[in-house]
């Protein structure tokens, strides 16, 4: 190659836009060549990092602080600034909330790999601006090869970790089908446009946040342990991750491109499906090509109920969230909670007593309604609710041993599900919770396809009386059967007041999802907090068994804890509970978006 100055050089083409030479190669000696290579690499890396950093900076400047945003026109709140940005841009160019949901979902699969996913599932609540509400169940299903005792050893004991780690822990993923199914019915922009931002983020990379850097370092050993070739896992690198490092995911980009080109078949058939099944076969996985081909998400009738002046729409089984939430709210109507105050011993006591009873019902009666006759009407019946309330002693805790489910006849949570709330410029609202269960699911990346598989099989009851990862108990209603969906606690919820949209809310948090959504609603309705206040407020949780109130650090004053102890409650402190992303419609019709300060969550309004 000959440079302008007549010397033979490697980089003579490097001129800036004003035609100034930015790389000088005066002499063709080895020293200069090495030096120039170093300079070139430096320039390329810096340009690339600046480009990414710049886009984040410009984006951050468009809202107040990302945690709380106000708008007249629309709102996006998700667990990651880059995913929020994708949703925001789709809305800005005229997409509706379903379009934004699709963009956000695929973006989260790239920029929030701990929970955003292709290899998981979830639930969508969608309210059109005309008041019609739809819900989509795209929860994972057990493989056709699954069977009731698949996690038990010869003596009938649960084999520790088998439903949590490695290939055998996964259910058949539902997310890609869910996105396509919802888009087909309600989307307005072409699917290919909506998935494109995710492809770009995977191909070009994004800058990891400090929380993410810590998280990737924390899980490095687990990724190495559970992957055949950890060198192919792009979350594993030799040096420690630091804030601002660039994460590029080439294989994931190719998988997303196959979905863009072939829709459903880009994931459930062809190369992606073959890579997924090869991954299963490389370990003790049981998912087959047939399982993938047969997977379809299901439209469900939302669970509805009234709470004071509000109407609640939430998720039906295979999630327990809707039934449990409506039970809790209906019981709460029997108590003057606003008079009791948000953090008084009295309020915490009665909420705990209600939660204890609701989780007992959940353990016995809830499971995938395609396989189990869930007594929804009976569980939500006013007389039954009143009978449960009557059992509550205002001055004394009931022992969980004494609380039984309706008679028809150790928490180790991490923030690894994700919820997002969206309202578009026409007032259509999406409330969506999605997960691969634990942080980074089964820890297994599908080799060559770059995405993580879920460990959702742990949400089944492997054996009656043996708690799952979240300490939840279950029985026949939630036993493993081929093609069945494992019971979830995910609670994407929409509230109306006077027939108009009032709130869009949801959260991750395993078994604490239901109680976190419940508390957030009470904080706004009974304790008159803003959305931001309600989301930031410290939380507590009780789930029948173990018989403990779990309390976030600093949630309650010592004197209140003493009072609770005096009533017979055991209180245990723990790290954060839930990560709520929600939107409130204020009396003037404008929106308040609230992104949980516990995470990198980000809210942005459309002006």
Residues lying near ligand DON in the complex (CB under 6 A) are found at: 413-417, 435, 437, 456, 459, 488-490, 508-510, 513
CA–CA dist 534, 531 (Å, integer): 5
Is residue 421 within 8 A of residue 97, CB to CB? The reply is no
Which of 123, 112, 58 minimizes the C-alpha distance to 89? 58
Taking residue 376's Cβ as centre, other Cβ atoms within 10 Å add up to: 18
The CB-of-313 to ligand DON minimum distance in angstroms stands at 19
The CB-of-578 to ligand DON minimum distance in angstroms stands at 8
Which of 362, 381, 349, 360 minimizes the C-alpha distance to 322? 362
- Helix, strand, coil in percent for the chain, rounding step 5: 40, 15, 45
The CB-of-140 to ligand DON minimum distance in angstroms stands at 9
Q: Between 435 and 462, whose beta carbon lies closer to ligand DON?
A: 435
Q: Between 197 and 467, whose beta carbon lies closer to ligand DON?
A: 467
DSSP H/E element including 389:
helix 382-390
Is residue 571 within 8 A of residue 565, CB to CB? The reply is yes
CA 408: distance to chain centroid?
34
Q: What is the 3-state secondary structure (H, E, C) of 19-59?
A: CCECCCCCCCCHHHHHHHHHHHHHHHHHHHHHHHHHHHHHH
The CB-of-419 to ligand DON minimum distance in angstroms stands at 9
Q: Between 11 and 112, whose beta carbon lies closer to ligand DON?
A: 112
Q: Between 192 and 412, whose beta carbon lies closer to ligand DON?
A: 412
The CB-of-413 to ligand DON minimum distance in angstroms stands at 5
CA–CA dist 226, 256 (Å, integer): 23
The CB-of-258 to ligand DON minimum distance in angstroms stands at 27
DSSP string for residues in 414-425? -S-EEEEEEE-T
Alpha helices (H) in 488-542, listed in sequence order: 513-525, 531-536
Q: Between 355 and 456, whose beta carbon lies closer to ligand DON?
A: 456
How many alpha carbons fall within 13 Å on the CB side of residue 71?
Answer: 28
Asked about 347 being catalytic, the answer comes back as no
How many alpha carbons fall within 13 Å on the CB side of residue 495?
Answer: 27
CA 429: distance to chain centroid?
17
The CB-of-468 to ligand DON minimum distance in angstroms stands at 9
Is residue 169 within 8 A of residue 457, CB to CB? The reply is yes
Candidates 417, 418, 493, 515; catalytic one: 417
The CB-of-342 to ligand DON minimum distance in angstroms stands at 24
Q: Between 474 and 509, whose beta carbon lies closer to ligand DON?
A: 509
Q: Between 95 and 173, whose beta carbon lies closer to ligand DON?
A: 173
Burial class (CB in 10 A: 0-12, 13-18, 19+), 193: middle
Q: Hey, is 586 helix, strand or coil?
A: coil
Q: Under 8 Å CB-to-CB from 148, ≥6 apart: which residues? A: 479, 480, 481
Q: Between 327 and 488, whose beta carbon lies closer to ligand DON?
A: 488
The CB-of-13 to ligand DON minimum distance in angstroms stands at 50
* 594 token code pair: 């609230």
How many residues make up the chain in this entry?
A: 607
Q: Between 68 and 516, whose beta carbon lies closer to ligand DON?
A: 516
Catalytic residues: 417
């Amino acid at each position: 190659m000959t440079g302008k100055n007549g010397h033979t050089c490697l980089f003579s083409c490097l001129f800036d836009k004003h035609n100034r030479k930015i790389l000088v190669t005066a002499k063709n000696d080895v020293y200069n060549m090495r030096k120039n290579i170093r300079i070139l690499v430096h320039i390329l890396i810096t340009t690339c990092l600046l480009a990414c950093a710049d886009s984040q900076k410009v984006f951050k400047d468009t809202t107040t602080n990302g945690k709380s945003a106000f708008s007249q026109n629309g709102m996006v709140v998700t667990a990651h600034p880059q995913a929020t940005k994708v949703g925001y841009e789709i809305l800005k160019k005229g997409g509706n909330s379903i379009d934004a949901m699709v963009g956000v979902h695929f973006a989260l699969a790239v920029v929030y790999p701990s929970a955003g996913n292709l290899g998981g599932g979830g639930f969508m609540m969608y309210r059109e601006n005309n008041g019609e509400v739809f819900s989509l169940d795209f929860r994972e299903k057990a493989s056709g090869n699954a069977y009731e005792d698949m996690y038990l050893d010869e003596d009938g004991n649960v084999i520790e970790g088998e439903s949590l780690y490695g290939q055998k822990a996964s259910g058949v993923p539902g997310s890609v089908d869910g996105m396509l199914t919802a888009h087909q019915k309600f989307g307005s922009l072409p699917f290919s446009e909506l998935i494109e931002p995710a492809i770009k983020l995977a191909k070009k990379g994004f800058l990891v946040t400090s929380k993410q850097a810590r998280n990737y370092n924390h899980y490095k050993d687990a990724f190495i342990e559970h992957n055949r070739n950890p060198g192919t896992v792009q979350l594993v690198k030799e040096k420690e991750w630091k804030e601002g490092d660039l994460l590029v995911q080439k294989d994931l980009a190719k998988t997303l491109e196959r979905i863009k080109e072939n829709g459903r078949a880009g994931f459930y058939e062809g190369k992606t499906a073959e890579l997924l099944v090869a991954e299963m076969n490389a370990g003790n996985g049981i998912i087959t090509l047939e399982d993938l081909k047969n997977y379809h998400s299901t439209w469900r009738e939302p669970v509805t109920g009234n709470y004071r002046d509000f109407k609640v729409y939430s998720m039906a089984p295979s999630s327990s969230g809707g039934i449990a939430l409506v039970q809790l709210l209906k019981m709460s109507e029997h108590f003057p909670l606003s008079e009791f105050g948000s953090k008084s011993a009295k309020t915490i006591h009665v909420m705990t007593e209600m939660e204890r009873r609701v989780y007992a019902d959940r353990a016995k009666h809830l499971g995938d309604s395609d396989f189990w006759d869930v007594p929804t009407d009976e569980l939500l019946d006013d007389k039954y609710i009143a009978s449960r309330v009557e059992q509550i002693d205002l001055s004394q805790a009931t022992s969980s041993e004494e609380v039984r489910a309706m008679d028809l006849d150790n928490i180790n949570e991490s923030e690894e599900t994700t919820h997002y709330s969206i309202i578009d410029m026409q007032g259509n609202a999406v409330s969506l919770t999605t997960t691969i269960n634990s942080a980074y699911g089964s820890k297994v990346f599908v080799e060559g396809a770059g995405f993580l598989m879920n460990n959702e099989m742990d949400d089944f009851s492997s054996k009656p009386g043996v708690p799952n990862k979240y300490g939840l108990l279950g029985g026949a209603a939630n036993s493993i059967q081929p093609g069945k969906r494992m019971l979830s606690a995910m609670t994407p919820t929409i509230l109306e007041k006077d027939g108009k949209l009032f709130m869009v809310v949801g959260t991750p948090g395993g078994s604490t999802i239901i109680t976190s959504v419940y508390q957030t609603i009470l904080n706004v309705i009974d304790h008159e907090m803003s959305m931001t206040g309600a989301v930031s407020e410290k939380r507590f949780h009780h789930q029948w068994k173990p018989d403990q109130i779990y309390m976030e650090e600093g949630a309650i004053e010592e004197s209140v804890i003493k009072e609770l102890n005096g009533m017979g409650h055991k209180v245990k402190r723990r790290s954060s509970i839930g990560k709520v992303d929600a939107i409130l419609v204020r009396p003037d019709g404008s929106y308040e978006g609230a992104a949980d300060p516990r995470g990198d969550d980000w809210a942005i309004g459309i002006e």
